[in-house]
Chain A
C-alpha cells in the first residue's frame, strides 16, 4: 500500500553542524506534509508543514524542502543543538477523505556537544 518512509534510521552530528533528515513518500495524491519531533518519553510535537504547491518553507532554524518529482521531503536544521536530539517523523495527508495523517518511520538525531 501507500507509505511514507525515511532513508536513515540514525543521524549523528556535532553541535553547530547543519542536519538534514530525509523522507520518501509513495502516494502521489498526497498534498500536505508535516514534520514532527518526538523527544524521549514525550508525544510528538509539530515542527513545520508544507503544502504541495510549495517547494520550500522556512521556520526558525528549520527548513523543509519538497521535491514532488521524486517524492522526497527533507528537514534541514541549522546550527544543530543538543536539544534537537530526538526522533523525527515525517507525515503526510493522504486525502483519503478522512483527513488523517500517515506517519513514516522515524529518524533518530543524536547531537554531540
Chain B
C-alpha cells in the first residue's frame, strides 16, 4: 500500500464555496501531482511540484491553485467552486529520479451543486 492520503474522499458543496482538498504522503517523495479524472475517462494533469516552494501548471487548465510549503503536503484549493468543477481529483507522488511510477491516493470526489 502506498502511503499517500487524500481528504475528504467525498465532498458535496454549493456553488461559490471555497474548498481545499488535502493530500499528504509519508514516503519522502519530492514530486507531487494533482490529476483530474471524470468517470471512465483518462487522467488530466492540472498541477505538479518538484519540491518545496515549487508549483507548476499541468496540461489541463484549471481554476484551482496549489501550494507546497512542506515536502509531505500538497493541498489543492478552489476559491469559488462551480458545477463545472465536479470531478474526481487524484493526488500522486513519485521520486524525482523515477517519473513513471506514481503512487496515487484514493481520490477526492467533488460534487458542486
Chain A residues packing against B (C-beta within 8 Å):
32, 34, 41-46, 49, 87, 89, 91, 93, 98-106, 108
Contact = CB atoms under 8 A, between A and B. Distances in A.
B42 A43 contact: no
A103 B59 CA distance: 11
Interface of B: 33, 35, 40-45, 48, 56, 58-59, 90, 92, 99-107
24 contacts: A32-B99, A34-B101, A42-B106, A43-B104, A43-B105, A43-B107, A44-B90, A46-B100, A46-B102, A46-B103, A49-B100, A89-B42, A91-B100, A93-B100, A98-B48, A99-B99, A100-B33, A101-B102, A102-B59, A103-B35, A103-B42, A103-B44, A104-B42, A105-B42
A40 B80 CA distance: 29
